[in-house]
Amino acid sequence: MISRSEFIIHWVKPTLFILALLPLANLLWDGYTDALGAEPIEAISQRSGDWILRFLLLTLTITPLRRISGWNELARLRRMLGLFAFFYACLHFLNYLVLDQGLDLAFIMEDVIEHKYVLIGFSSFLLLIPLALTSTKAMIRRLGGRRWQKLHRLIYLISIGGVVHYYWLVKSDIREPLLYAFLLTVLLGYRWYHHRSRTMSGAAQNGQINPALQNIVGANSFAHKGNSAKDN
């Protein structure tokens, strides 16, 4: 019998990794077979955009899932999912800069300044960069768990930005943006509720080590450096 931790690390994680690459494979295949439609640039934009939001939501699902199931090892999947959100965001962003705008900086500047859906999408992408850069174990140690967590709470803002970006760009059919908004509200609502009930019971004052980070970095590294991080 393998342990749950081994199962998640050796089976679930590699499987998820492969699955997370399928949208890219699908995009390349459709590009190769001319199945992206009459406007391939728009198709790349829409598909990559959808996958950014999906991976952001999946990333945000890990903590509630971990708390509800009590399987702290699930935290081992969070960084990978977050990095896939970043990966598809890079694709989306480069597609916009290079293929859609032809790297015309004057037009891009004007587009970002004058159109609020572009501005919020652009800003959300920029905010993702520090999160991707500080996603390594070494960076978590260097920043210290508490500061690292504070920084990474930016994902809430980024996800809201992403959904608003989508909502603002559709012409009249708001069904999909509303679905994403609903799911995001559930995920953020869960955190708010959890935080509130912990604060009221005083548990948050105890300065526990976040079991999620403990799982990623290893429990000892926090103990050694005397860092502590609150569970958010």
Partner 1 sequence: MIKKHHSDIKPSEITDKETYLNRRQFLQGGAALALGLGLPGCDASEPKLAAPPPASSRKKLASTKNGAFSINEAQTSYKDITRYNNFYEFSTDKAGPAKLSKAFVTRPWTLTVDGEVSKPQTFDIEDILKSFPLEERIYRLRCVEAWSMVIPWIGFPLADLIKKTDPTSRAKYVAFETLYDPKQMPGQQTGLFGSGLKWPYVEGLRIDEAMHPLTLLSVGLYGEVLANQNGAPIRLVVPWKYGFKSIKSIVKITLLEKQPPTTWNISAPREYGFYSNVNPKVPHPRWSQARERRIGEFSKRKTLMFNGYADQVTSLYTGMDLKKFY
Nearer Cβ to partner 1 (172/220): 172
CA separation for the pair 226, 197 (Å, rounded):
27
Query: CA of 156: how far to CAs of 159, 185, 186, in Å?
Result: 5, 10, 12
Q: Does the footprint of partner 1 cover residue 114 (CB under 8 A)?
A: yes
Residue type, 96: Y
Q: Does the footprint of partner 1 cover residue 110 (CB under 8 A)?
A: yes
Nearer Cβ to partner 1 (27/56): 27
- Which of 8, 20, 36, 131 contacts partner 1 by CB under 8 A? 36
* Residue 162 C-beta: closest distance to partner 1, Å: 17
* Residue 175 C-beta: closest distance to partner 1, Å: 5
Stretch touching partner 1 by CB under 8 A, among 109-117, 142-150, 181-189, 214-222: 109-117
Nearer Cβ to partner 1 (133/174): 174
The count of residues interacting with partner 1 (CB under 8 A) is: 32
Stretch touching partner 1 by CB under 8 A, among 6-14, 40-48, 81-89, 205-213: 40-48
- Which of 1, 32, 68, 220 contacts partner 1 by CB under 8 A? 32
- Which of 4, 13, 67, 115 contacts partner 1 by CB under 8 A? 115
> 9: closest CA among 60, 67, 69, 74?
74
Residue 49 in tokens: 């955009």
Query: CA of 66: how far to CAs of 18, 72, 174, in Å?
Result: 22, 5, 31
Return phi, psi of residue 216, to 5°.
-80, -50
Nearer Cβ to partner 1 (129/174): 174
What would the x/- binding string for partner 1 be over residues 152 to 191, using CB under 8 A?
A: ----------------xx-xxxxx--x-------------
CA separation for the pair 77, 72 (Å, rounded):
10
CA separation for the pair 93, 87 (Å, rounded):
10
Nearer Cβ to partner 1 (19/25): 25
Query: CA of 161: how far to CAs of 127, 131, 158, 170, 232, in Å?
Result: 10, 15, 5, 15, 21
Q: Does the footprint of partner 1 cover residue 90 (CB under 8 A)?
A: no
CA separation for the pair 19, 17 (Å, rounded):
5
CA separation for the pair 224, 144 (Å, rounded):
12
Tell me which residues touch partner 1 (CB under 8 A): 27-34, 36-42, 99, 102, 107, 110-111, 114-117, 168-169, 171-175, 178
